[in-house]
């Protein structure tokens, strides 16, 4: 085995977040901690960035882990849900979701859930990866309100 180690400095993460907050004093900061905190431990990184107003993740399991660990901040699923049955957990745990496709719109509009879900509607800004193109964005927005 190669003698390689990685050390994560919680104080450095906290310092970096304070610098961001100082440069954007009227903004809310959402720390992206996807992929197990980029391999540094989801809870370890989130605890270091506790002063962030929210956390963004990819997987529902990551969001639930944060919520179960006591994090009250906004939690956002960056790619939303991919199965309709995930919407119940999203609603129950108070997790925000990105909606970037017609499939997600249909799942959401047909969901039988009692709690509301905060939606972040994604527009394709030209990278052509995810999101509604400009001509479809307004129609999707109108359908959600």
22-43 tens-digit pLDDT: 999 999 999 999 999 998 899 9
What's the confidence (pLDDT) of residue 92?
Answer: 96
pLDDT, position 72:
98
pLDDT of residue 7: 78
Residue 53 binned pLDDT confidence (cut-offs 50, 70, 90): very high
User: Which pLDDT tens digit goes with each residue over 118-143?
Assistant: 999 999 988 888 999 999 999 999 99
pLDDT tens digit sequence for 84-130: 999 999 999 999 999 999 999 999 999 999 899 999 999 998 888 89
Residue owning tokens 């969901």:
111
Q: What pTM was estimated for this model as a whole?
A: 0.91
pLDDT at 19: 98
pLDDT at 5 over 80: no
The residue with tokens 């961001």 is 20
User: What is the per-residue pLDDT for 59?
Assistant: 95
Residue 71 has pLDDT above 80, yes or no: yes
Band of the pLDDT at 21, cuts 50, 70, 90?
very high
Please determine, for residue 1, whether its predicted confidence score (pLDDT) is greater than 80: no
């Amino acid at each position: 085995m190669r003698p390689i180690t990685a050390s994560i400095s919680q104080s450095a993460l906290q310092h970096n977040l304070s610098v961001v907050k100082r440069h954007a004093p009227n903004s809310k900061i959402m720390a992206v901690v996807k992929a197990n905190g980029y391999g540094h431990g989801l809870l370890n990184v989130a605890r270091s960035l506790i002063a962030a107003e929210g956390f963004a993740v990819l997987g529902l399991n990551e969001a639930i882990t944060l919520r179960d660990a006591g994090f009250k901040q906004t939690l956002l699923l960056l790619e939303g849900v991919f199965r309709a049955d995930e919407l119940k957990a999203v609603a129950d745990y108070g997790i925000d979701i990105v909606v970037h496709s017609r499939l997600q719109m249909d799942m959401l509009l047909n969901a039988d859930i009692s709690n509301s879900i905060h939606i972040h509607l994604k527009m394709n800004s030209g990278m052509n990866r995810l999101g509604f193109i400009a001509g479809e964005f307004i129609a999707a927005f109108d359908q959600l309100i």
